[in-house]
């Protein structure tokens, strides 16, 4: 294991800023959950009422955690845990791929492996690096909960420790998943895509599993169904911090991650550096008709990602309407839930509308992700030097950028349309759901406009500060998503929440269509788009990261 | 003769660094123009300006009389270029990349002439088009750029260190292609730091240093600027010879230099003395080059303590020689 320490130091040196932001961000997010709970649900009765409502409409559990009780700490964990775990998971998969497959792909691993460090030491160093990062993240999460203003009772301190441990354990599980993805896929892009797909799929599986679970008689606690146990997120949630403080599901996640990391080390030791496990197919000797225009090239480079987001949109749409009916059947057996639903009364329709709105907010985020990823692809083409031969041929700078923007817009339309199609398919399984169509179409169109804002803002960043494109593009979406998904919960003032295009988009309530900030959004898209295209005329090629 | 490339006082700054510092470059139609300089002298920056990929800070640059920044698209229809460091799309095969780039430059999709030319070049360069971009070595990536550039006829070819990464056999193929372009009357700007390549291929040379052209002319013209080295067998310092500079004796040979246009003048003297093992070496491009970079070398020697450049004509031949040319 010679060279382990230098490799570890190199990893920390390369990542420390990024990891600092990521772990402190997670800690602050945990800290903020207290004010969310104390502002929105200060009274015990309010918290109990919230949980009862949730049990009545468990679809919400897709966006929240596993209810364990109405105590403040328990509710904080219920509201925030999945998202804290998701931050740890994203941090870990990206970290794993960055230091394994990406290094191999870009030839850096060859330099290192030619030294006495050999082929497996870099992976071992990455595992240790990932474990340290997750430990820091877990510690800061615990600190966040400790500092949040909960009473410093023994139980609360133990709860804070358990929640930190669980978040870190989910992170380690995804460190293993990221490492395996890096072994299987030949490119870092492919490895990241695979890891993110697994992440989102297991997140949703965990949520569906919780929604299909068995509520306790007092409607304050939910027992996960077996589905939840297929997901590392489910393991993390079943530690039930502040309630049961049950460590073994967390240990399961930890062991799972370490076993996968071990397998990754073995795989690395038996394969050739830079190769995958599926032999490379030979390419075409000649280009097909698609590769005759710069637009065709952009499509060729991005269609895989577009397909992925579109399938995501379709599934989101299907869940938004069909899951409601499944949940209806489950909860229909429980007299207490029927009672609640009746209390909410005629607003059953509006509950469904609200459900569609929440899911379509996710759809808007997916569409924005697809678009931003394509603009980021333009930046990657520029930085890696593959834009240069295209721009040295008879392709203008403006035309080149517009191609990416057009394909990005098409991608957003595909994602949103897939969402509408999915929602319509889901409705087919529900009786008399046709009145929801207006909500579906209007909300989808609104989210398309909202996602376009992310597209033009990222395009502007690309033109004005190319080196910041990747970081700022994803940050914009993250901020928009947090405002959209948590703004109401955290009690942000309205003006602040409506800064997020996703929140400012038109919605449908029982009072009819609310346009909200539609005209503002359209204005931003038009001005931003025109600005980006105009400024591109004066923009030079900026190579290098 | 029509001017193809013209720059005057071209300046390109990146922050505080002046990558180009008043560059004056002229390339006439039909020339194979060598663009010489070590790494970092500004060769690639110049090419990026000429291709409209970078905007000059000040000064003028025209290609075919047009502005390379504003008229990039129309100019690029007449230009074929090969960048110094070729990047390929990892998931596109080499054949796909060649076709794509050729089509972007205007090759019709089902053009028999283009296909035939591409096949010929792939055969000459022994290129396998079916591998994916990420699987190619540096030399093979270079071949992708070369084949796509050479397979569609152009009026101007811009090559940025085109043979870096190519093996010697492929360098020969490349030289044959340049000869073909010369015969077709095309203009070529060939940037390189490989002096022998430029010496073999180019009819005019511009030497760039720290963002400025320090010397330009035909090889014959430039040769007159430096001295010819003369050496013969001798064990002791010979009697003075008129016109000889820096006479030394080492390893059984006497060496000195003479101004290149004064070589004929010393021949009778040498004949009279019946010297043995006479060798007269005209200045190579390397010496021309060292003339401008000799002080860098001297500084390098001073810092490393070696004697690499000691006694080379590079530092001896002063600029005063310029006036002595024919």
pLDDT of residue A500: 82
pLDDT band, residue B280 (cuts 50/70/90): confident
Domain spans in chain B, listed from the N-terminal domain onward: 3-221, 227-318
Closest CB to B89 among A301, A396, A540? A301
**Nearest chain A Cα distance for residue B293, angstroms:** 29
DSSP state, B93? B
Yes or no, beta carbons of A394 and B87 under 8 Å apart: no
Examine the pLDDT at B282 and tell me if it is beyond 80.
no
Chain A interface includes B204 (CB < 8 A): no
Chain A interface includes B44 (CB < 8 A): no
Examine the pLDDT at A95 and tell me if it is beyond 90.
yes
Contact A287, B115 (CB under 8 A): no
Nearest CA in chain B to A380: B89
pLDDT of residue A439: 85
What's the rounded mean pLDDT across residues A102-109? Answer: 87
Yes or no, beta carbons of A396 and B132 under 8 Å apart: no
What's the rounded mean pLDDT across residues B211-235? Answer: 83
B141-180: per-residue pLDDT in tens? 999 999 999 999 999 999 999 988 899 999 999 999 999 9
Yes or no, beta carbons of B73 and A384 under 8 Å apart: no
Q: Taking CB atoms and an 8 Å cutoff, what residues of chain B touch A293? A: 103-104
B85-115: per-residue pLDDT in tens? 899 998 899 999 999 999 998 888 888 999 9
Q: What is the interface pTM, i.e. ipTM, of the complex? A: 0.80
Q: Which residue has the higher pLDDT, A44 or B61?
A: B61
Yes or no, beta carbons of B96 and A286 under 8 Å apart: yes
Q: Which residue has the higher pLDDT, A157 or A429?
A: A157
Chain A interface includes B93 (CB < 8 A): yes
Which of the listed CATH numbers 3.30.750.24, 3.60.130.10, 3.30.70.260, 3.40.50.300 matches domain B3-221? 3.40.50.300
**Nearest chain A Cα distance for residue B279, angstroms:** 47
What's the rounded mean pLDDT across residues B265-270? Answer: 86
The pLDDT > 70 percentage for chain B reads: 89
**Cβ-based neighbour number of residue A205 at 10 Å:** 17
Order of all β-strands in the sheet with B227-233: B245-250, B253-259, B227-233, B279-281
Chain A interface includes B92 (CB < 8 A): yes
Contact A26, A140 (CB under 8 A): yes
Write down the mean pLDDT value for chain A: 87
Q: Taking CB atoms and an 8 Å cutoff, what residues of chain B touch A401? A: none
What's the rounded mean pLDDT across residues A7-13? Answer: 93
Q: Which residue has the higher pLDDT, A23 or A110?
A: A23
Examine the pLDDT at B260 and tell me if it is beyond 90.
no
Chain B interface includes A437 (CB < 8 A): no
Nearest CA in chain A to B70: A537
Closest CB to B100 among A287, A399, A540? A287
pLDDT band, residue A164 (cuts 50/70/90): very high
**Which of B84-88, B243-247, B302-306 has the weakest average pLDDT?**
B302-306
**In the structure encoding, which two tokens stand for residue A366, read together?**
């997916």
Chain B interface includes A276 (CB < 8 A): no
Nearest CA in chain B to A280: B132
Chain B interface includes A278 (CB < 8 A): no
Of A110, A122, A285, residue with least CA distance to B137: A110
pLDDT of residue A430: 67
Nearest CA in chain B to A298: B89
pLDDT of residue B281: 82
Interface test with A, best of B44, B50, B53 (most A CBs within 10 A): B53
Q: Taking CB atoms and an 8 Å cutoff, what residues of chain A touch B131? A: 282-283
Nearest CA in chain A to B91: A301
Q: Which residue has the higher pLDDT, A525 or A281?
A: A525
What's the rounded mean pLDDT across residues A13-28? Answer: 92
Of A499, A277, A469, residue with least CA distance to A371: A469
Nearest CA in chain A to B94: A285
What's the rounded mean pLDDT across residues A360-369? Answer: 93
pLDDT of residue B258: 86
Q: Taking CB atoms and an 8 Å cutoff, what residues of chain A touch B77? A: 394
C-alpha to C-alpha distance for B87 and B50, rounded to whole angstroms = 20
Examine the pLDDT at A433 and tell me if it is beyond 70.
no
Cα angle: A161, vertex A167, A169; to 5 degrees: 100
Chain A interface includes B65 (CB < 8 A): no
C-alpha to C-alpha distance for B173 and B186, rounded to whole angstroms = 18
Examine the pLDDT at B324 and tell me if it is beyond 70.
no
Yes or no, beta carbons of A393 and B104 under 8 Å apart: yes
Chain B interface includes A287 (CB < 8 A): yes
Fold of B227-318: Alpha-Beta Plaits (3.30.70)
The β-bridge partners of B12 are B20
Q: Which residue has the higher pLDDT, A189 or B32?
A: B32
**Which of A53-57, A244-248, A339-343, A346-350 has the weakest average pLDDT?**
A346-350
What's the rounded mean pLDDT across residues A328-348? Answer: 52
pLDDT of residue B268: 87
Chain B interface includes A391 (CB < 8 A): yes
Chain centre to alpha carbon of residue A525:
24
- Within 8 A by CB and 6+ apart from B296, the residues are none
Closest CB to A396 among B51, B73, B106? B73
- Within 8 A by CB and 6+ apart from A207, the residues are A61, A62, A63, A82
pLDDT of residue A345: 40
Closest CB to B96 among A283, A390, A396? A283
Q: Taking CB atoms and an 8 Å cutoff, what residues of chain A touch B85? A: 385
Interface test with A, best of B100, B128, B129, B155 (most A CBs within 10 A): B100
Examine the pLDDT at B209 and tell me if it is beyond 70.
yes
pLDDT of residue B315: 36
Examine the pLDDT at A399 and tell me if it is beyond 60.
yes
The alpha helices in A187-247, defined as continuous H runs, are: 188-211, 232-237
**In the structure encoding, which two tokens stand for residue A117, read together?**
């460090």
The β-bridge partners of B208 are B213
Distances (CA, A) of A174 to A171, A190, A214, A259, B190: 5, 16, 28, 11, 51
Interface test with B, best of A393, A396, A545 (most B CBs within 10 A): A393
pLDDT band, residue A376 (cuts 50/70/90): very high
């Amino acid at each position: 294991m010679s060279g382990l320490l230098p490799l570890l130091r190199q990893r920390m040196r390369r990542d420390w800023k990024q990891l600092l932001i990521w772990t402190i961000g997670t800690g602050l997010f945990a800290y903020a959950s207290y004010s969310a709970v104390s502002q929105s649900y200060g009274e015990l009765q309010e918290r109990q009422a919230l949980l009862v409502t949730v049990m009545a409409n468990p679809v919400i559990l897709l966006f929240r955690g596993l209810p364990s009780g109405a105590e403040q700490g328990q509710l904080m964990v219920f509201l925030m845990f999945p998202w804290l775990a998701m931050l740890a998971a994203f941090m870990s998969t990206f970290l794993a791929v960055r230091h394994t497959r990406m290094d191999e792909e870009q030839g850096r691993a060859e330099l290192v492996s030619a030294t006495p460090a050999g082929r497996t030491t870099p992976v071992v160093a990455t595992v240790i690096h990932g474990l340290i990062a997750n430990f820091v993240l877990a510690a800061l999460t615990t600190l966040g909960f400790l500092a949040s203003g909960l009473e410093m009772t023994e139980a609360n301190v133990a709860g804070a420790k358990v929640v930190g441990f669980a978040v870190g354990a989910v992170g380690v599980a995804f460190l293993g998943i990221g490492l395996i993805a890096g072994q299987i896929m030949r490119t870092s892009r492919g490895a990241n895509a695979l890891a993110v797909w697994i992440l989102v799929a297991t997140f949703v599986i965990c949520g569906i599993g919780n929604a299909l679970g068995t509520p306790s008689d007092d409607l304050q606690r939910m027992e996960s169904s077996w589905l939840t146990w297929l997901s590392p997120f489910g393991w993390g949630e079943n530690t039930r911090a502040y309630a049961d403080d049950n460590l073994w599901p967390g240990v399961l996640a930890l062991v799972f991650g370490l076993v996968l990391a071990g397998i990754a080390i073995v795989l690395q030791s038996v394969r050739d550096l830079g190769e995958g496990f599926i032999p490379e197919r030979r390419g075409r000797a000649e280009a097909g008709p698609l590769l005759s225009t710069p637009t065709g090239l952009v499509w060729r480079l991005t269609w895989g990602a577009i397909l992925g987001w579109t399938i995501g949109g379709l599934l989101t749409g299907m869940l938004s309407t069909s899951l409601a009916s499944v949940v209806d059947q489950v909860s229909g057996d429980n007299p207490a839930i029927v009672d609640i639903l009746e209390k909410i009364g005629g607003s059953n329709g509006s509950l469904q509308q609200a459900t569609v709105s929440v899911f379509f907010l996710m759809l808007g985020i997916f569409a924005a992700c697809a678009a931003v990823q394509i603009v980021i692809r333009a930046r990657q083409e520029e930085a890696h030097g593959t834009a240069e031969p295209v721009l040295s041929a008879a392709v203008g700078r403006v035309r080149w950028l517009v191609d990416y923007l057009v394909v990005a817009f098409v991608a957003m339309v595909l994602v949103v349309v897939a969402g509408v199609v999915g929602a319509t398919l889901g409705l087919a399984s529900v009786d008399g759901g046709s009145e929801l169509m207006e909500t579906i179409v209007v909300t989808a169109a609104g989210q398309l406009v909202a996602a376009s804002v992310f597209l033009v803002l990222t395009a502007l960043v690309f033109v004005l500060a190319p080196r910041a494109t990747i970081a700022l593009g994803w940050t914009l979406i993250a901020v928009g998503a947090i405002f959209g998904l948590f703004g109401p919960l955290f009690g942000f003032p309205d003006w602040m929440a409506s800064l997020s295009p996703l929140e400012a988009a038109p919605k449908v309530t029982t009072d009819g269509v609310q346009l909200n900030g539609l005209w503002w959004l359209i204005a931003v898209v038009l001005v931003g788009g025109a600005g980006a295209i105009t400024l591109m005329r004066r923009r030079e090629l900026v190579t290098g990261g | 003769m029509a001017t193809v490339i013209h720059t005057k006082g071209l300046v390109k700054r990146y922050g505080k660094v002046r990558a180009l510092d008043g560059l004056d470059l002229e390339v006439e139609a039909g020339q194979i123009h060598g663009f010489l300089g070590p790494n970092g002298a500004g060769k690639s920056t110049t090419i990026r300006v000429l291709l409209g990929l970078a905007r000059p800070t000040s000064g003028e640059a025209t290609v075919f009389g047009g502005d390379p920044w504003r008229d990039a698209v129309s100019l690029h229809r007449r230009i074929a270029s090969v960048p110094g460091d070729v990047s390929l799309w990892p998931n596109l095969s080499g054949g796909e990349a060649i076709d794509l780039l050729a089509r972007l430059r205007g090759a019709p999709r089902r053009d028999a002439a283009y296909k035939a030319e591409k096949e010929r070049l792939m055969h000459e360069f022994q290129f396998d088009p079916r591998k994916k971009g990420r699987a190619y070595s540096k030399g093979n990536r270079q071949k992708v750029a070369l084949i796509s550039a050479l397979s569609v006829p152009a009026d101007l070819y811009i090559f940025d260190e085109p043979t870096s990464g190519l093996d010697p056999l492929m360098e020969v193929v490349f030289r044959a292609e340049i000869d073909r372009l010369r015969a077709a009357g095309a203009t070529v700007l060939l940037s390189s730091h490989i002096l022998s390549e430029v010496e073999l291929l180019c009819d005019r040379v511009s030497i760039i240093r720290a963002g400025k052209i320090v010397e330009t002319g035909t090889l014959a013209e430039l040769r007159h600027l430096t001295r010819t080295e003369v050496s013969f067998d001798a064990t002791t310092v010979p009697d003075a010879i008129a016109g000889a500079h820096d006479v030394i004796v080492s390893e059984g040979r006497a060496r000195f230099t003479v101004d290149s246009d004064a070589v004929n003048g010393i021949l009778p003297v040498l004949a009279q003395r019946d010297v043995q093992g006479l060798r007269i070496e005209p200045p190579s491009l390397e010496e021309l080059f060292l003339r401008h970079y000799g002080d860098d070398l001297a500084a390098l020697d001073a810092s490393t303590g070696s004697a690499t450049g000691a006694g080379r004509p590079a530092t001896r031949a002063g600029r005063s020689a310029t006036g002595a040319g024919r």
